[in-house]
Amino acid sequence: MDVSIVIINYRTPQLIINCLNSIHQFTSGVTFEVIIVDNDPEHGGGALIRQAYPGVRMINMASNVGFGIANNAGMAVAQGRYFLLLNADTLVTDNVIGRCYERMNRQPDVIAAGALQLYPDGSPMPFYKSFNDFRKTFFILPPGRLVDKIVARLYPEPTYSDPEQHDWLVGAFIFLRREGFEKTGGFSSDFFMYGEDVEWSGRLGKLGRLCYFRDCTFLHLENENPFRRTNISWINRFSTQMQVSNFLWIRKQYGLFNYLLLITHYILMIPVIYIWKMVLNLKKGGSPFSELRTQQIYVRKTRVLLRYFWKTLLLKKGLYRIKPNENIDLLTSSP
């Protein structure tokens, strides 16, 4: 078997059927199997997938264990020389799987590769080019050349001789060698959603190069989920679940000091963002206490981060999944 394709189902059977339709339509030159891991077998619609594609292998999880653990379950039974981890809300538009297979065969030093994401209209989807590119966005600092220059000096971009090499790969499409899973154990079992691909990339990168093949693309439809961010603003850039996962990644990969620095920054920013907004309100001739909803959401999210402080600080094992009453994005999604 050349390639084992692993897709996670969480109540998205039609999206997966559409994805499989595109795979079967465009993939050639490789033998492949499809493994569907169902995170909600009771309500996930797995029967629809089996009806459309009887040859797929279904694995039912006992509960919604999130993205990483479910992918690990699929990779554990995969038979292929290569694994392709693919989001349910994706479509291939040409023989990208065959092309990734050929390129990986020609470049044995590449442990895993990604394809460039496109929006449904075919336009390119931006992505973080490096760990430091991502880390810079965690800090809520006033925009400006001086600030940008300081941050760039503190978090410099890596340089690689190969322009296709990068620090990490987006989890929506990861094409990797079997040994990448066998030697790392796969995704960390601590991540529920978000951040797991970043953390795993750090460990995969110790085994070989990570590349985005620029002649390989796929469509990412970005299916809605209850953990997506809402009320996006300068100070509320990430969803609550994403922030918890990001802070866990920083603690795991960069250690105690960088985690404490980030937590301290978020706490110290609370009075800053209130004072800044109140001054703006006064300049507009209004009440200093008007239009503070964005600031209130920021405080609520920071409180959630602090609830996971000791667990993250001590790197306690267990799934870092926020509770329903901690999902500030969902709770504040309506005006």
Give 28-85 pLDDT, tens digit per residue: 999 999 999 999 999 889 999 999 999 999 999 999 999 999 999 999 999 999 999 9
Give the pair of three-digit tokens for residue 78: 């995969």
pLDDT, position 142: 82
Task: Assess whether 210 and 254 both reside in one domain.
Answer: no
pLDDT, position 303: 97
Residue 230 has pLDDT above 70, yes or no: no
Task: Note whether residue 234 is domain-resident.
Answer: no
| Backbone region of residue 318 per phi and psi (left: phi > 0; alpha: psi in -120 to 50; beta: other values) | left
CATH number at residue 213: 3.90.550.10
Task: Assess whether 268 and 180 both reside in one domain.
Answer: no
Do residues 313 and 209 lie in contact, with contact meaning Cβ atoms separated by under 8 Å? no
Residue 229: pLDDT band by 50, 70, 90 thresholds?
low
Task: Assess whether 145 and 191 both reside in one domain.
Answer: yes
Do residues 152 and 64 lie in contact, with contact meaning Cβ atoms separated by under 8 Å? no
Residue 225 has pLDDT above 70, yes or no: no
Residue type, 255: G
Task: Note whether residue 149 is domain-resident.
Answer: yes
Residue 175: pLDDT band by 50, 70, 90 thresholds?
very high
pLDDT, position 226: 61
Query: How far is CA 227 from its chain centroid?
Result: 12
Task: Assess whether 185 and 307 both reside in one domain.
Answer: no
Task: Note whether residue 37 is domain-resident.
Answer: yes
Q: Per-residue pLDDT averaged across 298-306, rounded? A: 97
Residue 223: pLDDT band by 50, 70, 90 thresholds?
low
Residue 285: pLDDT band by 50, 70, 90 thresholds?
confident
Task: Note whether residue 233 is domain-resident.
Answer: no
Alpha-carbon span 14 to 53, nearest angstrom: 12
DSSP-derived secondary structure letter, 127: -
Alpha-carbon span 61 to 40, nearest angstrom: 7
CB atoms within 10 A of CB 226: 11
pLDDT, position 335: 56
Residue type, 71: N
Task: Note whether residue 40 is domain-resident.
Answer: yes
The region of weakest confidence among 68-77, 117-126, 143-152, 260-269 is 143-152
Alpha-carbon span 69 to 190, nearest angstrom: 9
Task: Assess whether 51 and 145 both reside in one domain.
Answer: yes
The region of weakest confidence among 215-229, 239-253, 284-298 is 215-229
The region of weakest confidence among 71-75, 135-139, 288-292, 296-300 is 288-292
Task: Assess whether 183 and 326 both reside in one domain.
Answer: no
Task: Assess whether 253 and 303 both reside in one domain.
Answer: yes
Task: Assess whether 167 and 128 both reside in one domain.
Answer: yes
Task: Assess whether 212 and 116 both reside in one domain.
Answer: yes
Task: Note whether residue 231 is domain-resident.
Answer: no
Alpha-carbon span 186 to 77, nearest angstrom: 13
Domain that holds residue 142: 3-220
Alpha-carbon span 158 to 167, nearest angstrom: 8
Residue 96 has pLDDT above 80, yes or no: yes
Task: Assess whether 270 and 184 both reside in one domain.
Answer: no
pLDDT, position 211: 97
Exposure string of 245-258, with b = 16+ CB inside 10 Å and e = fewer, is bbbbbbbbbeeeee
Task: Assess whether 65 and 204 both reside in one domain.
Answer: yes
Tell me the whole-structure pTM to 2 decimals: 0.93
Task: Assess whether 207 and 269 both reside in one domain.
Answer: no
Domain count, the chain: 2
Q: Per-residue pLDDT averaged across 194-206, rounded? A: 97
- The percent of residues in the chain predicted with pLDDT above 70, rounded, is 97
Task: Note whether residue 228 is domain-resident.
Answer: no
Do residues 189 and 72 lie in contact, with contact meaning Cβ atoms separated by under 8 Å? yes
pLDDT, position 232: 73
